[in-house]
Amino acid sequence: MKSTNLWAALSFWVLVPFATAEPMSVKPSSVPAVAQAELLPPDAAFSVKAVPGAEGVHLAFHVAAGYYLYQQRISVELASGGERLQLRFPPAQTKSDRFFGEQKVYGQDFTVVALAPSSKRPGKATVHYQGCAGSVGVCYPPQTATIELR
């Protein structure tokens, strides 16, 4: 009987602090103030625009200093029909990512050539991409941009 009372008393003193503690949060307010001050909104960290080129359409990506885009997460699909365009990438840097292993990334502005099907004149397309803030160690959710292909 004594051991049961002892266990009950110990359990009470051990478990009460956990019951009254606030739950952990993944809200932006839980990111340290220094990190929040440094973190750009996604559209300021990354942007893309279409530039007519000799072969296909050139997609000019802007990458803010201290940020990078994953090559593997860049894709383009036509708005009409959802056909994915073949992309030709420039050389990229290799980065060791703790979650995804070795990844090719772009840490500065670069241009990708999107080869449109010769049978059609594409209109609008959706560009998908994802990147991270290298200095803070925060990755953004996948982003999309709608562009006009000419």
Question: How does pLDDT run across 72-84, given as a tens digit for each residue?
Answer: 999 999 988 788 9
C-alpha Rg value of the chain to the nearest Å: 24
Question: Could you give the CA distance from residue 145 to residue 25 in angstroms, rounded to a whole number?
Answer: 30
Tokens of 106: 């772009």
CB 91 within 8 A of CB 115: no
Q: Please give the CATH number for the structural domain made up of 40-148.
A: 2.60.40.1250
Does residue 103 surpass a pLDDT of 50?
yes
pLDDT for the residue numbered 18: 39
Domain with CATH 2.60.40.1250 in the chain: 40-148
pLDDT for the residue numbered 100: 78
pLDDT for the residue numbered 122: 63
- Which pTM does this prediction carry? 0.72
pLDDT for the residue numbered 11: 45
